[in-house]
Structure 1
Amino acid sequence: MNIWTKLAMFSFYETERLILRPFFFTDVYDFYQIASDSENLQFIFPTQASIEESQYALANYFMKSPLGIWAICDKKQEKMIGSIKFEKIDEIKKEAELGYFLNKEYWSQGYMTEVVTNIRDLSIEELGLKQLSIVTHMENSASQKVAQKSGFKLYRRFKGSDRYSRKMRDYLEFRYTKGELSE
């Protein structure tokens, strides 16, 4: 069984407070609420000015190829509040990079740490991955805290081109490797 078959098996996944599931087109209003506020996505992609832009982004970047992309939903409110996805999957090396975002109304409550920790464990135990990485902008201290609280260790600092502005930026890469004990 390959990683894509396994990802399909886990397209719906539940944590203590959250449900991870594929995106639905009906998520567009929750998605627009997140995507239209620059604070929510300052390190992810440009702010979306209209519901039509959010419809396009949702359909083309989150629904078109859904395996390895989850909508994060609050169980109590039954609302889509963010996303976590594999940015890159290397089946040969058994490695992947995680990317995520969360509605700012849910920041500092441990939701993203809960999601990242669960996806980390799923990746190692069920998907057979050996290593995960999280790349953050140097100034994104919140995402760095999530990585560290989820057992990822700082691996390197590097410069790279921002995918939207094309400007050179400083980044930090955090890694979690199977078999390493987290602190």
Structure 2
Amino acid sequence: MDIWVALSQYATVETERMILRPFSFVDSDDFFEISSNRENLPFIFPYQASQEESDFLLVHYFMKNPLGIWAIEDKSSSRMIGAIRFEHLNVSDRTAEIGYFLHRDFWGRGIMTECLKTVTFLAFHSFYLKKLSIIVHKENLASQRVAKKAGYVFKRCFKGSDRYNRKMRDYVEYGLKAKEYRYE
């Protein structure tokens, strides 16, 4: 099956506590609440000082090309509280990097691990990807814990240029191959 057809079939996915779904402009206020607080996104992208900046980011990075990008909606409050997405999806090699963020009010509850396990399962069993990776800033210990809890294995440390400020940073890569994947 074509990966884009498969991704469209799983545009909305339900987990125990969350709904993974396409972003909508209705998420504008929730997205601004996350993106305007520097403490929410220290490793993701620069904070957005205005609603206008936040809306631009929401539309251009999360809504414009929606397949493989999910808003994380908390079932109990119906709030959009984060995102998980395929970055650098290589259709011919069947590989992808996964990126994610979560509103800090929801940190430490296992929510991102739940979402990452769901997307990982779909990546290998429905989208037939062969290899996934997660690249995080070395000091982002929380995202490293999420990767490990979801079954990803440490691959390497490396230096790279931060995509926003172009400064050299230390990064850590975690990976998982389809043939090594074990559903829990």
Cα distance in 1 between the residues matched to 2:40 and 2:142: 12
Tell me the equivalent position of 2:41: 41
Tell me the equivalent position of 2:8: 8
1:127-138 matches, cutoff 5 A: 127-138=127-138
Cα distance in 1 between the residues matched to 2:90 and 2:58: 24
Q: Give, in angstroms, the shift of residue 138 of structure 1.
A: 0.4
Moved more, 89-98 or 109-118: 89-98
Q: Give, in angstroms, the shift of residue 92 of structure 1.
A: 1.5
1:3-53 Cα deviation digits (max 9, x unpaired): 111101100001010000000101000000000111111111100011111
Moved more, 47-56 or 135-144: 47-56
Cα distance in 2 between the residues matched to 1:34 and 1:174: 25
SS at match of 1:40: coil
Q: What TM-score does the superposition give when structure 2 sets the normalisation length?
A: 0.97
Cα distance in 2 between the residues matched to 1:181 and 1:80: 29
**Two-structure CA RMSD over aligned residues (Å):** 1.1
User: % of aligned pairs identical?
Assistant: 52
Cα distance in 1 between the residues matched to 2:181 and 2:63: 35
SS at match of 2:179: coil
Q: Give, in angstroms, the shift of residue 181 of structure 1.
A: 5.2
Do residues 85 (structure 1) and 85 (structure 2) align? Answer: yes
1:94-140 Cα deviation digits (max 9, x unpaired): 11000000000000000000000010000000000011000000000
1:66-105 matches, cutoff 5 A: 66-105=66-105
- Alignment length (residue pairs): 183
Tell me the equivalent position of 1:59: 59
Q: In the alignment, residue 151 of structure 1 is paired with which amino acid?
A: G
Change in CA separation of 1:131 and 1:87 when aligned onto 2, cut-off 3 Å? same
Tell me the equivalent position of 1:23: 23
Q: What TM-score does the superposition give when structure 1 sets the normalisation length?
A: 0.98
Q: Give, in angstroms, the shift of residue 154 of structure 1.
A: 0.3
